[in-house]
Structure 1
């Protein structure tokens, strides 16, 4: 029985685990959102696709707000996005303003707005162009 030992078989290469965020092509953590959905007692059962879908929606909204806030910071000649820029971005976009209408952004300030009644009224200039041209003297030296 000396030649009847177990044959050495190479262990199959274990596949490295691929996260659900990577599978879905997302940057935000799908696993964390799934855990928060389960622990939040929103429903007794949570489908596997629900966390992926919710994560994709959150990532899209963040990308949209960050793009608009980056444009607002560039308009103000700043390199860093401040809460003021997020406020300007959200309030100037019609759909985001409807979505985040009841949200207060800390240190965001208010939108610049002057009501029309407070602006000075435009007055028409007098039309004395004929008389004014006669009164002008030429500069002959």
Structure 2
């Protein structure tokens, strides 16, 4: 007997067990014209890397918020988390002397 069930479409994000959209990242890579050719596994890998970095930044931001006695993460907590981690500081190329959280003062001319 033939099986009349339809094949269930499973997204690439679900197959890779990722929360970030692999299809959206592939679209960004194609629209960005970074290369003429794109491996099918490149957007999956990039989605995994972005998800890992995001989770790491959020984990450190939660620690910063808790250390300052807060329950809600603010942009300053994210900034402090990135600045206080040497690996993230290197990835984002942040100078240890500068601060991302402080807004720049407008020039008075």
Common fold: TM-score over 0.5: yes
Bigger relative contact order, structure 1 or 2 (CA pairs below 8 A, ≥6 apart): 2
Rg larger in structure: 1
Number of residue-to-residue matches in the alignment:
100
In the alignment, structure 2 segments of 5+ residues that lack a partner are 104-109
Q: For structure 1, which segment, 41-50 or 93-102, has the greater mean C-alpha deviation from structure 2 after superposition?
A: 93-102
In the alignment, structure 1 segments of 5+ residues that lack a partner are 1-8, 111-141
Find the counterpart in structure 2 of residue 79 from structure 1: 71
| 1:38-117 equivalence runs, <5 A | 38-102=30-94, 105=100, 108-109=101-102
Preserved CA contact (<8 Å) 1:20 1:30: yes
The offset of 1:10, in angstroms, is 7.3
Deviating runs (4+, > 3 A) in structure 1? 102-105
Preserved CA contact (<8 Å) 1:69 1:89: yes
Preserved CA contact (<8 Å) 1:87 1:109: no
Normalised by the length of structure 1, the TM-score is: 0.65
Normalised by the length of structure 2, the TM-score is: 0.83
